[in-house]
Amino acid sequence: MALSETERRIINKYQRGIPYEPRPFKAIADALGLTENFVLNTLADLRERRILSRVGPVISPNTVGASTLAAMSVPAGKLDAVAAQVSARPEVNHNYEREHQLNLWFVLAAADRDAVLAVIDDIEKEAGLDVVELPLEEAYHIDLGFRV
């Protein structure tokens, strides 16, 4: 995925945060010697090309509602069907197949802990398989973003 020098600068410089002010894109433009309109068009284009998933807030886990990481050990022949059932739930926001005996890993979020457990219960009943639930106990990372 080819990036222009300006696109690269914007992504590298603003992953950790854009200026918090009423006209943030003008502040970015001023810092980089561009126009506000050019910055807006560049960001819209990066979104259109799906290089950016969004420009906006990143929410910390478990501060708004409750979430958890869960895993299942799904027999190969059932994997596509179970994965589709899991992905179909609106509470599930990530679902990955991984190389392990526990081969289906998903993150789900709901209004509170009871709602999370109710979704897991439903998934277990629908799939006829146990879910290993691994809720977050403590977070340690300092996410500095990616150099591109």
Partner 1 sequence: MNKVDWKPHMDETDRQIIQATQEGLPLVPRPYHAVAEALGLSSADVMARMQRMLDDGVIRRIGVVPNHYRLGIKANGMSVWDVDDAHVRDAGMELGALDYVTHCYRRPRHLPDWPYNLFAMVHGRRRDEVEALVAEMARILGPRARRHEILFSTRILKKTGLRLGM
Looking at residues 13 to 42 of the shown chain, list those that interact with partner 1 (rule: CB under 8 A): 14-18, 20, 22-26, 36, 40
Structural element, H or E, at residue 118 = helix 113-127
Establish if 120 lies at the interface with partner 1 (CB under 8 A): no
Q: Note whether 110 binds partner 1 by CB under 8 A.
A: yes
**Residue 139 in contact with partner 1, rule: CB under 8 A:** yes
Site membership for partner 1, residue 144 (CB under 8 A): yes
Burial, 64: exposed, middle or buried (Cβ in 10 Å; 0-12, 13-18, 19+)? Answer: exposed
Least Cβ distance, residue 13 to partner 1 (angstroms): 9
Answer for which of 33, 75, 76, 137 binds partner 1 (CB under 8 A) is 137
Answer yes or no whether residue 50 interacts with partner 1 by CB under 8 A: yes
Is residue 47 at the binding interface for partner 1, with CB under 8 A as the rule? yes
Position 12, amino acid: N
Closest by CA position to 146, among listed 47, 12, 14: 12
- State whether the Cα torsion 108-113-116-117 is positive or negative: positive
